[in-house]
Amino acid sequence: MKGRRLRTALVGLSMTACGDAPPSMGGAQSASSTDSATTGLGMSTAPADSTSVVESASWGPDPASSTADESTGAGPVGVRYDGVQQKSAHNSYQRDEAIFDQLVYHRIRSLELDIHVGKTFEPTEPGVWYVYHTDVTDDDTWCVRLGHCLEAIGGFTHEVSQHEVVTLWIDLKDGWDDEHGPVELDAALVATFGDALIDGPGLLALAGCPGAASVQAGLTDPTCGWPTMEALRGRVLVVLTGGTGVLRTYHDEEPLARRALVAPPLTTLDDVADWSNTAVFNFSADDVALAAQFVDAGYVARVWDCNDQDRWAAAFDAGAQHVATDKVSADADPWARTHDAQGWPFACKAACEMDVPAPEIPVIGMDVDSGDVWANADSAWFVHDDRSDAADGTWRAFVSTPNSHVEPFAKACLMARASLDPGAPYIAVCRPADNEPLRVQWREVPDGTSTAIENAITPDNTLDAAGAVFVRLRVDQDGTCVAGDGSADGQTWVEIGSRCFGEALALQGLTTSAHDSGEIRLLVGNVTLDLPGPGNEPGPRQLGDFGASVAIGVAQADVYDGPLP
């Protein structure tokens, strides 16, 4: 069930359905570090003096006051790609928020990369594009090469195989040459996304109109049209923007072999006939009235530079399907939001026919208010199993954090520890909430000091430190020896640190801490435990699969299942 929350009340554990309004900043399962009881499912109940659940959403604006009509929770049945509107992250490589977290934490499904053939002080390489805005003066980027940006998106699409369609806008800043042409660009896209990549003929096939005279004719034909959002689940659509000349070459040369659409910046509807292999067009916010004409004619429009509330609202009023902005965080800029109260990333242009599809991915969220996992004693929230009978195994997960407007050393971890005592020995592999590298940290003896090793995982000149989001904890020797690993894509792993202890670390699971910053939301997804020996198939674990959810030291948290706003 998408957006399912586990909530505690004074009388015990209850469940909410998708139609319920989510509690304020969680409210799902709340307990303090003192006087907490444990239900039969191992979920802590609130003490008698705690406040009751508040039935209102506070993550972003009230849906009723949004500038767009928002759906009420689950994905639509029958709603087509051109029938929804969505936030599009402008220059996604240059935002405070990592690309993976834009997709998972901030619920964005529309990204943009600017690519160049060369870069100052870097040798030109065949088939390699560089990602930046303006070299030297404005070249900050999460990922220097296009391949590394694609890997960051590919890590998400591989991990979340049933994700809602991702649209990737690639802005071509340079012309083609013999080593950087349409064939080489298509090859890079296919190498990352494989069968998930959807092209023009593929869109027609999913829409049930493979015999259309052209991509444009089929996608704008009311009897055919764009595929439904459900049909596009798990797909990646790439759209190229840039100057008319460079897009013309890509559009005209072997159009049936091209793996992306183009979105030329036209100035009149009369010119669309010259672009028969696309039905997507790109507009500045200054040209929002023109964008409205294209939308009314049945095309998909992206409007960029919507960085204030008036421009954002104007693009929505024009019906633009992709509203591009630098304002990624809806917590910081609540008007810049399209995801609904349950985290569905889109706003429907008309009424959505709703159903309850399977969740995109098993996610465990924790809205935690605590101190830190550090020094001589810990203050954190811990969702865990007691594995005293068989402590060995490999835990794996991804961690998604806000990245911006957040305390840098708030963190989420996979942890193994000796007991629930705040000063107990432990080891954890953690991802901080800001632009800090992955870390392995431990306390070797009771009430001893903590030690940390940091590792950005990826080599220089590739992903930035916060681009590594996958963590793994390997427990061996009857729970006495533990190693922590990190990965940028969930497939290639690097050991960060390891340690052996004088006692078994049998309490194992997920922990989050706020670093004394007040309440912070941290998401841990696709948590698996791979047991030693043949025949074990590690399946994703959700909140109800764990034995206990409790405070370590002084801490409180709301803990829930499912993707959330």
What's domain 69-348's superfamily in CATH?
Answer: Phosphatidylinositol (PI) phosphodiesterase (3.20.20.190)
Whether residue 159 contacts residue 360, with contact meaning beta carbons closer than 8 Å, is answered with no
CATH topology of domain 367-561: Jelly Rolls (2.60.120)
Q: What is the mean pLDDT of residues 320-347?
A: 93
Lowest mean pLDDT among 14-28, 216-230, 524-538: 14-28
Candidates 48, 49, 43; CA nearest to 28 is 43
Q: Supply the pLDDT for residue 77.
A: 56
Bridge partners of 405, per DSSP, are none
Q: Supply the pLDDT for residue 338.
A: 95
From first CA to last CA, the distance across the chain in angstroms is 15
Residue 531 has pLDDT above 50, yes or no: yes
Does this chain's domain 69-348 share its CATH topology with 367-561?
Answer: no
- DSSP letter string, 411-452: EEEEEEES-SSTT--EEEEEEESSS--EEEEEE-STT--EEE
Exposed, middle or buried, 490 (CB in 10 Å: 0-12/13-18/19+)?
Answer: buried
Stretch (H or E) spanning 290:
helix 288-296
Domains in the chain: boundaries: 69-348, 367-561
- DSSP letter string, 128-153: --EE-SBTTTB---SBSBHHHHHHHH
**Amino acid of residue 255:** P
Whether residue 68 contacts residue 85, with contact meaning beta carbons closer than 8 Å, is answered with yes
Q: Per-residue pLDDT tens for 297-329? A: 999 999 999 999 999 999 999 999 999 999 999
Token pair recorded at residue 191? 């190498």
Q: Supply the pLDDT for residue 270.
A: 96
Candidates 437, 421, 439; CA nearest to 429 is 439
Q: 30-31 and 555-561 as β-strands: parallel, antiparallel, unpaired?
A: antiparallel
**Amino acid of residue 284:** S
**Amino acid of residue 415:** M
Q: Supply the pLDDT for residue 564.
A: 60
Q: Supply the pLDDT for residue 538.
A: 86
Specify the higher pLDDT residue, 524 or 46.
524
Residue 522 has pLDDT above 60, yes or no: yes
Q: What is the DSSP letter of 122?
A: B
